[in-house]
Chains A and B, each alone.
Chain A
């Protein structure tokens, strides 16, 4: 199973998470977002970029609580909530945003 982006073949698992995090690129993220039915806005990218930065520093995806807190700090209290994240990523912020960010499937529940 693989994505085809810019003439490249990028392998993914049965749920669509890419196998090699180093193969991630912007066009791939856009393609996964289309598959997920998500129209990427600046707000979506903010979450995706945060996930990628956090992962590269700590080698793990953040807990949802950590993600909510970081968004709150960056974008203000009205956006620092689970509700806000679910509005952006209706099928689970951790699962969908991690998939678009090219990270492994998170072990937590959402």
Chain B
């Protein structure tokens, strides 16, 4: 993809970003803003760990219909996050590494399992998650 970077040269600058999604998808703008950040980090080919915990796990639960709230249903956009992750794994020209993680305790406390999610996730306990968090250069909370 040598000809797709036209405006910024970010080669050689790769950081580990963690995006913590902790809030329910609608009612506040947090979920949508973090999603935007995640997609921007893809444009710059940065490493990203996208984490869903607390009520944030509801962001990727199947079957959203926020039409009565007047907010856009951005639930399908998480599919793009999954595609970026898969793209990064398959395309050797893309150096970034992405993880999509759900915190085990948050998922179980809400009676959810990985089958309830619109995308494939990795489930990590809070201990493992805090170890991963310690490896990050930047952590965004939302």
A residues contacting B by CB (< 8 A) are 57-60, 62-66, 68, 81-83, 107-110
Contact = CB atoms under 8 A, between A and B. Distances in A.
Interface of B: 1, 3-4, 6-8, 36, 39-40, 42-43, 72-77, 79-80, 83
Most chain-B CB neighbours within 10 Å: which of A63, A108, A110?
A63
A62 B39 CA distance: 10
Majority-rule SS of B interface residues: helix
Given A65-B43, A107-B36, A108-B43, A59 B3 contact: no
10 contacts: A58-B76, A58-B80, A59-B72, A59-B77, A60-B77, A81-B3, A82-B3, A107-B40, A109-B7, A109-B8
A-B interface, 3 closest residue pairs, ranked by CB to CB distance from nearest: A60-B77, A59-B76, A109-B7
A81 B4 CA distance: 7
B32 to A, nearest CB: 10
B59 to A, nearest CB: 14
A59 B73 contact: yes
A58 B79 contact: yes
Nearest to A68: B4
A60 B4 contact: no
Given A63-B42, A107-B36, A82 B6 contact: yes
Contacts of B3: 81-83
Nearest to B6: A82
Nearest to B74: A59
A60 B74 contact: yes
Given A58-B76, A108-B43, A65 B1 contact: yes
B35 to A, nearest CB: 9
Contacts of A63: 39, 42-43
A52 to B, nearest CB: 15
A58 B77 contact: yes
Contacts of A62: 80
A59 B73 CA distance: 7
Nearest to B78: A58
Contacts of B4: 64-65, 68, 82
